[in-house]
Structure 1
Amino acid sequence: MAIYMRSALPNAFYFGFTGTPIDKTNIGKGTFITFGKDDAPKGYLDKYSIADSLADGTTVPINYTLAENKLLVPKDTLEKDFFQLVKNEAITSVEELDKKILDKALKLRNILKSPARIKKVAAFVAKHFRENVEPLGFKAFLVGVDREECALLKEELDKHLPPEYSRVVYTPKHNDKELLKEYYLHKNEEKEVKKNFIKIDEYPKILIVTSKLLTGFDAPARYAIYLDKPMNDHSLLQAIARVNRPLGEKEMANPKTCGLIIDFIGIFEKLEKALRFDSAEIEGVVVNIEEKKKEFAELIKHNGKIYLKLVDGRINDKTVERIVNYFSEKEKRTEFLEFYRKLESLYEIIAPDIFLRPYLEDYFLLSGILKVIKAHFGPKFSGELWHKTVKLVQSRTGVSGFEKTLPVYPIDERTIKLIHQDSSPERLKIIKAHRSIKILIDDEGSKEPFLYLFREKIEKILEEFDNKQIGTKETLREFEALIKEINNAREERQRIEIGEEDFAFYYTLKEYIPDKQMLKEISSKISQLFSQYHNWSSNPESSRALRRKLAALLLPYICKLDEMQFIIMKQIIPLEKKIGTNNKIL
């Protein structure tokens, strides 16, 4: 076909498109012999590099680490039986690698499949997976040199992990031994295994492969590859790229910040030799995990010391007060969160490596600071801790002191006087006042649902303070005004003798309906409507009927349709949802 095309179009221009161009071989310039040799820079008309995809967030970086020295292939064997053979070849697929190189490398394959080594590799994989991969909620590939090694590894792995943890996926052949036949998958079985592997919470957690699924099978939940197969160029790049797919934000709580390769061969000791591309193309994309350890240590020693000064000595009320006062400025909270998330992502990658031992106390204290921030400023400023960090923090629960929080003001007629008598800095008074009202809403809202109407108000005041739209004195005055309003509302409810649910609607509408007796009657009718259309939240027809009735009830008092719609949809209905939810809980 290519000959006919070139004959028919002798003067045509030919453009090459490739995902993995070979840049260097002993027999010429690889891809650039035919395409791009006269194009600057470096032979490309245009390219989208791995670094570009990292910047766009369409891939995550890849870290690598070498297995124990006793498991690695001897360097002279790897050089002679692999690198010397592949240097004159332009291998473009795993199948070509098997056929041209590995099927002939008998000595290398025998080393990899020796019974003693298989036992050690399987034991290492099981332990590493349990300690490093499974706690993150991710999955892994175990890549054997051939189908026989896959079967042998499965046989041994089942001695360390439940059998359902792993499945073998390879193509059957007519002359296979019984061991290989034991792990055959029928077409439907293989389809089910692949489908379940993609799902976070389903088995298997480890797929053992050699060629099939090694390329072209996307599973973002795959975090690690245990590589026990010599690979290079396209085949290596395509295989390791299987772990660089990011997870969707809603797929799991623990974010996937990187992928991990565990090298049992020693390929990554000579990465530039294995990947014959411009070294700049892979710089910063595939990183030795030892570099991550250095980065972790530097963050603790330099950035961390600023925050660790806040926890000077034993942890007590004064420590918590010092932390809250320091982080009362939004910018400082944002800076700390950025620092901590970077540190936490490194910890999740490295743990449980013994390298971390000298840093565990400092990391625990920094995690405690985050806990204090979360308790006083809410989850939006901190988020949830990740898996391995949670385990560390839980191991110290009850002895840390970080469970302490600032005292709150009881919300009653004495509160404003207590605020004025408090000798704390004004910024701390603001945090205390905000938390006091918030805790009141959380604890008493189910009994006094009108309190839910104040949640948005307190958050708005704090947001304006955080954004420096209002100063400390004005912020305190606004919180004091809200406290006074809550006290007055409680007094009014007792005075007019109205039920708590009715009073929530009464308080919502009081600025629109000045006649208090009429307001009381309308509030009661609104409660009755919600009882009448009790299935409104799950039945669209009932919901529409309810909204029509509410509109008819309010129309004589609120003439502007858009304003009435806002009150119904943004105030009355959300309020009833809160009331209904809490009634179910009670």
Structure 2
Amino acid sequence: MSYEWAKERPVEHRLIKQLEGLGYTYIPGHALDSERASHRDVVLEGRLRQAIQRLNPWIDDINLHKVVRMVTHINATSTMEANEKFYDMVVNYVSIQQDLGKGKKSQTVKLIDFDNPDNNEFLVVNQLKISGPMMTIIPDVVLFVNGLPLVVIECKSPTKPHPISEAVQQLLRYQQEAERLFHYNHVVVATCNEQAKFGSIGARLRHFGEWKDPYPFKVSDIGDNPTRQDVLVAGMFSKKNLLDMIQNFVVYEAEGGRTIKKVCRYQQFRAANKAVERILTGKTPKERGGVVWATQGSGKSLTMLYLSVKLRRLKELRNPSIVIVTDRTDLDEQITNTFRRCGFPNPQRAESVKDLRELLRTATGATIMTTIQKFQDHVDDGEDLLLNDADNIFVLVDESHRTNYGGLAMNMRASLPNAVYIGFTGTPIDKEDRSTVQTFGTYIDTYTIQQAVEDGATVPIYYESRLPELRVEGESLDAIFERVFQDYSKEEREQIKKKYATEEAIIGAPQRIRRICLDIIEHYEKHIAPNGFKAQIVAINRETAVLYKEILDELNGPESVVIISPNNNDDERLKKYHLTKEQQKHYIERFKKPLHEDKLAFIIVCDMLLTGFDAPIEQVMYLDKPLKEHNLLQAIARTNRTYDKKTYGLIVDYYGVSAFLKQALAIFNPTDVQGALTSIESEIPRLQARHRAAMRFFDHVDRNDIEACMKVLEPEDVRHAFDQAFKRFAESMDMIMPNPAAKPYHEDLKFLGKVRQYARNRFRDEQMDISDCGEKVKKLIYDHIYATDIKALHRPVSILEKNFDAHVKNLSTDQAKASEMEHAIRHEIRVKINENPVYYTSLKERLEQLIQARKEKRINDAQLAFELEKLIEEMRGQSKTIEEEGLTPQSYPIFQLLQKEWTDQEEEKERLKEITQIIVEHIEGLVVIDWVNKEDVKREMRKKIKRQLRTSKCPSDKIEPLAQQIVELAEIHYKK
């Protein structure tokens, strides 16, 4: 196969060659035109039909036609709905009525053979034209399986300023402009070779992830120095892995009133498949089990779900039963809801000990949810412990490090003696914890805290110690007491000491809590609220939690709610804060909403919501309770979920836990808890390094000379490097501000922000927008620009606007004027090239020639500015030129296309105008409302254009491509 385009598109070429090595057949997009009735067709119907016949040889022609139509005409109100319906057809098969000799019965039709990947056709296609309602898109690469377009890949040059961001934006635009292509999509990929990320339909950039492990391959299997793109392609698109992912690792989850498609991350795919491998190869129940450590916030519940889906499909397991075990009612409810939301068939939640026993006795192919306590409680009822001795029962135990050994494990194993036990934990196993390994077996897979942060699956957690004079950890009670009650007389202190005799009482002393509440309000309003995040306060007991609420309200603090476990013996003060389960759910849902939608900012707890509580909007936990070991790791992870513009979680420590962090986490191996908690003070050296990295661009430049700064940023690669450095510096500043440690960097941040805003306008680079910074940084920069140079905030001036000439004239140097005109022209070309490809491509070539002449010093800045001014005048005079040629803005691009592609002979000019006019009349005669969505209209249009070109003696090899290009121009200029 010829690759004459390879030098122009090296990223695309490398990807295609790798896929060919994985067994895909390469076909260039234009070679498929003969197989498609029009560019609007996204399914290769002929290939789909052949695959259905091959996989279902019994199917008759009528049903074959029916199935193909079901696939190509999905009735849905949205892309996501169509995508989910198609997924159901592929994974759960299509059902049709057909008589196979025993009367008409329902038969299932396979679209893909998941059992034998090589029994499917895998194509890699590049530069395939696909027409949408308004525009034609040309994705770089599309992967087809049996004629179904399952993967869309956008390749960018690694030298571009923001290659992955650009690719993601383009993929999102494709989803708007050619919606039908994404009815069939499994994943989309953005790549530039050095970086590569994947996402599902509708995903924004922050939801795209890397695929870092090519399991079951090793990185060394891929070749020498493989790039991230190589690893992703090997891991996601080897035939077996791609089909495995489609069949077992996709869920559609209802969330916030909409459906979100979730495709597994690499660690979930790896963990589930390693577990399956152990289950199938182990000889005893013990050897078939083990432990999966997936750090909190990295999708552990979904890993359990994916594994359950895989186990269900394995024929070797003979319709297995799956038992999901947790140790808390709220976790049991959470994971049950996860399975139900994701469409898992009929998970049954054991409501009581008796209910659990009955479900387990009769379990065949069941999915049962329970708490471990229901095993414990039935020990004393005098019944036989044995409930089911089947060997195809799989017990998946959540948070297995906590309670699932000793008596509880013994009860479970006595009830289900031949079951396979797989423990899932969000925290590492203790150094001294022999029980977990003895109970479940060795690690199946690990995904550490540090790995999750590096992958962007979670955000890093920092801690900050506040009010050291009120900290408790490591101090004697007498010293704390003297500090808290220092303003009282000796006699009063003696009376108080009798009342506050315990650690809990002193921690909960109103005097101390009032000081902390004042500090919390100040900290939250300055550090957290500006970016729209929310907070959790953890008190030592329920009485202190209520006291926090009362004092916060008294001080007019942000809106808060106390969520504590009710007790029948509570006094009237505590009873005021008793909430029903429904009320608790209501407040939790309010808390999860954006701050601008719901002002509920604080949830105050003592024990509840420290595990299994997932609210990504929570950035800070105000901790005033002694926590250590697993409890500490569980609690702080409430702040590690990802959320828009959230770059870190924060623990503000009033108790003193962080001062003794080493002891608090001593039971773990240091490497296992690396990155669990980092002092915010450790950000200061990183802030200094990031500040230096951003400022170095202007080391030898007069910072008061904005044009000198623009000259530094003129090269695209330099501008990209600066933008990355600025974002990192701004991120650190947003974390530290308004801490006085950030003060020395304020002026440089203002300067860099202003330069970046100027660069955005000069180079028309929409990525360089300070709106993507944190609110504290943004306010500092905006206030500075408003005070010093408000025009920097104005949008770029277009060359077609009346004030453009005055704007250029006000610039101080010829170099600045030439730069402003160059990038204004580039922007105009980028925006309008689809309207008239011939003219604007020619304009781009002339522009590049002028820029090259300046680089080679054949012309100076003044001459360049003069030549660019002439180009602008020509662009402005386009309408006059069109009028002089006797054409219209709609017909002129068609005329120029014919002139370039057919003949540019001057004597032919008038004849081409006549042909153009005839073609335009054909187009206008067919233009009706919404015609761009009507394939029959476009087919007729192409037919008439081709007939006219043939009649006009157009060379035969030019007719087909010209007709298609003319219709594409018509779609832009003749919308109705």
TM-score of the two chains, using structure 2 as the length reference: 0.46
Q: Per-residue deviation at 1:189? A: 2.5
Amino acid at match of 1:32: R
The structure-2 alpha-carbon separation of the partners of 1:130 and 1:558, relative to structure 1 and needing over 3 Å to count, comes to farther
Query: Is the contact made by 1:225 and 1:240 (CA closer than 8 Å) also made in structure 2?
Result: yes
The aligned residue for residue 881 of structure 2 is: 492
Report the secondary structure of 1:167's partner residue: strand
In 1, Cα distance between equivalents of 2:478 and 2:511: 23
In 2, Cα distance between equivalents of 1:457 and 1:190: 65
The aligned residue for residue 217 of structure 1 is: 613
Query: Is the contact made by 2:462 and 2:648 (CA closer than 8 Å) also made in structure 1?
Result: yes
Q: Per-residue deviation at 1:51? A: 1.3
Amino acid at match of 2:913: K
Amino acid at match of 1:67: R
Structure 2 counterparts to residues 20-31 of structure 1, below 5 A: 20-24=427-431, 29=432, 31=433
Q: Per-residue deviation at 1:52? A: 1.7
Query: Is the contact made by 2:526 and 2:738 (CA closer than 8 Å) also made in structure 1?
Result: yes
The structure-2 alpha-carbon separation of the partners of 1:190 and 1:483, relative to structure 1 and needing over 3 Å to count, comes to same
The aligned residue for residue 86 of structure 1 is: none
Q: Per-residue deviation at 1:307? A: 3.0
The aligned residue for residue 711 of structure 2 is: 325
The aligned residue for residue 207 of structure 1 is: 603
Q: Which one of the candidate residues 82, 106, 109 is aligned to 2:504?
A: 109
The aligned residue for residue 733 of structure 2 is: 347
Gaps of 5+ in 1: 82-104, 537-541, 581-586
Q: Which one of the candidate residues 526, 531, 540 is aligned to 1:131?
A: 526
The structure-2 alpha-carbon separation of the partners of 1:64 and 1:508, relative to structure 1 and needing over 3 Å to count, comes to farther
Q: Which one of the candidate residues 32, 57, 65 is aligned to 2:456?
A: 57
Alignment partner of 1:152 is 2:542: no
* 550-559 or 209-218, which deviates more: 550-559
In 2, Cα distance between equivalents of 1:126 and 1:518: 75
In 1, Cα distance between equivalents of 2:780 and 2:858: 41
Report the secondary structure of 1:511's partner residue: helix
Alignment partner of 1:19 is 2:19: no
The aligned residue for residue 190 of structure 1 is: 584
Alignment partner of 1:257 is 2:653: no
Q: CA RMSD in A?
A: 4.6
In 2, Cα distance between equivalents of 1:13 and 1:464: 71
* 175-184 or 339-348, which deviates more: 175-184
Q: Per-residue deviation at 1:270? A: 0.8
Structure 2 counterparts to residues 569-580 of structure 1, below 5 A: 571-574=969-972
In 1, Cα distance between equivalents of 2:551 and 2:733: 30
Alignment partner of 1:544 is 2:940: no
The aligned residue for residue 155 of structure 2 is: none
* 118-127 or 10-19, which deviates more: 10-19
Q: Per-residue deviation at 1:191? A: 1.8
The aligned residue for residue 90 of structure 1 is: none
In 1, Cα distance between equivalents of 2:543 and 2:627: 17
Q: Which one of the candidate residues 740, 751, 756 is aligned to 1:370?
A: 756
Q: Per-residue deviation at 1:183? A: 2.6
Q: Which one of the candidate residues 598, 620, 638 is aligned to 1:242?
A: 638
Gaps of 5+ in 2: 1-384, 386-408, 481-499, 900-910, 948-958
Query: Is the contact made by 1:151 and 1:183 (CA closer than 8 Å) also made in structure 2?
Result: yes
The aligned residue for residue 312 of structure 1 is: 702
Q: Per-residue deviation at 1:456? A: 8.4
In 2, Cα distance between equivalents of 1:395 and 1:171: 47
Q: Per-residue deviation at 1:312? A: 2.5
Q: Per-residue deviation at 1:15? A: 6.9
The aligned residue for residue 296 of structure 1 is: 687
Alignment partner of 1:269 is 2:659: yes
Q: Per-residue deviation at 1:299? A: 2.9
The aligned residue for residue 385 of structure 1 is: 773
The structure-2 alpha-carbon separation of the partners of 1:523 and 1:312, relative to structure 1 and needing over 3 Å to count, comes to same
Query: Is the contact made by 2:619 and 2:650 (CA closer than 8 Å) also made in structure 1?
Result: yes
Q: Per-residue deviation at 1:9? A: 10
Amino acid at match of 2:613: F
Q: Per-residue deviation at 1:393? A: 1.3
Query: Is the contact made by 2:449 and 2:674 (CA closer than 8 Å) also made in structure 1?
Result: no
**Residues matched between the structures, number:** 508
TM-score of the two chains, using structure 1 as the length reference: 0.73
The structure-2 alpha-carbon separation of the partners of 1:190 and 1:243, relative to structure 1 and needing over 3 Å to count, comes to same
Q: Per-residue deviation at 1:188? A: 2.6
Query: Is the contact made by 1:325 and 1:428 (CA closer than 8 Å) also made in structure 2?
Result: no
The structure-2 alpha-carbon separation of the partners of 1:564 and 1:473, relative to structure 1 and needing over 3 Å to count, comes to farther
Amino acid at match of 1:180: L
The structure-2 alpha-carbon separation of the partners of 1:72 and 1:338, relative to structure 1 and needing over 3 Å to count, comes to same
The structure-2 alpha-carbon separation of the partners of 1:519 and 1:369, relative to structure 1 and needing over 3 Å to count, comes to same
Amino acid at match of 2:718: K
The structure-2 alpha-carbon separation of the partners of 1:441 and 1:272, relative to structure 1 and needing over 3 Å to count, comes to closer
Report the secondary structure of 1:397's partner residue: helix
Amino acid at match of 1:516: K
Structure 2 counterparts to residues 152-191 of structure 1, below 5 A: 152-161=547-556, 165-191=559-585
Looking at both structures, which has the greater relative contact order when contacts are Cα pairs under 8 Å and sequence separation is at least 6?
A: 1
Q: Per-residue deviation at 1:292? A: 0.6
Query: Is the contact made by 1:63 and 1:258 (CA closer than 8 Å) also made in structure 2?
Result: yes
Per-residue deviation, residues 156-202 of structure 1 (Å, max 9, x unmatched): 21234466x22221222112222222233333322222222222243
In 2, Cα distance between equivalents of 1:298 and 1:286: 21
In 2, Cα distance between equivalents of 1:320 and 1:453: 36
Query: Is the contact made by 2:731 and 2:773 (CA closer than 8 Å) also made in structure 1?
Result: no
Report the secondary structure of 2:785's partner residue: coil
The structure-2 alpha-carbon separation of the partners of 1:381 and 1:515, relative to structure 1 and needing over 3 Å to count, comes to same
Query: Is the contact made by 2:565 and 2:608 (CA closer than 8 Å) also made in structure 1?
Result: yes
The structure-2 alpha-carbon separation of the partners of 1:504 and 1:293, relative to structure 1 and needing over 3 Å to count, comes to farther
Query: Is the contact made by 2:563 and 2:608 (CA closer than 8 Å) also made in structure 1?
Result: yes
Q: Per-residue deviation at 1:395? A: 1.8
The aligned residue for residue 233 of structure 1 is: 629
The structure-2 alpha-carbon separation of the partners of 1:63 and 1:452, relative to structure 1 and needing over 3 Å to count, comes to farther
The structure-2 alpha-carbon separation of the partners of 1:554 and 1:146, relative to structure 1 and needing over 3 Å to count, comes to same
Q: Which one of the candidate residues 390, 396, 411 is aligned to 2:784?
A: 396
The structure-2 alpha-carbon separation of the partners of 1:19 and 1:396, relative to structure 1 and needing over 3 Å to count, comes to closer
Report the secondary structure of 2:426's partner residue: coil
In 1, Cα distance between equivalents of 2:555 and 2:974: 54
* 362-371 or 554-563, which deviates more: 554-563
Report the secondary structure of 1:262's partner residue: strand
The structure-2 alpha-carbon separation of the partners of 1:49 and 1:440, relative to structure 1 and needing over 3 Å to count, comes to closer
Structure 2 counterparts to residues 361-510 of structure 1, below 5 A: 361-383=747-769, 384-401=772-789, 403=791, 424=814, 429=818, 432-436=821-825, 438=827, 483=872, 486-487=875-876, 489-495=878-884, 503-504=889-890, 506-508=892-894, 510=896
Structure 2 counterparts to residues 501-520 of structure 1, below 5 A: 503-504=889-890, 506-508=892-894, 510-512=896-898, 515-517=912-914, 519=916
Q: Per-residue deviation at 1:346? A: 0.7
Amino acid at match of 1:283: Q
In 1, Cα distance between equivalents of 2:438 and 2:830: 68
The structure-2 alpha-carbon separation of the partners of 1:221 and 1:74, relative to structure 1 and needing over 3 Å to count, comes to closer
Report the secondary structure of 1:340's partner residue: helix
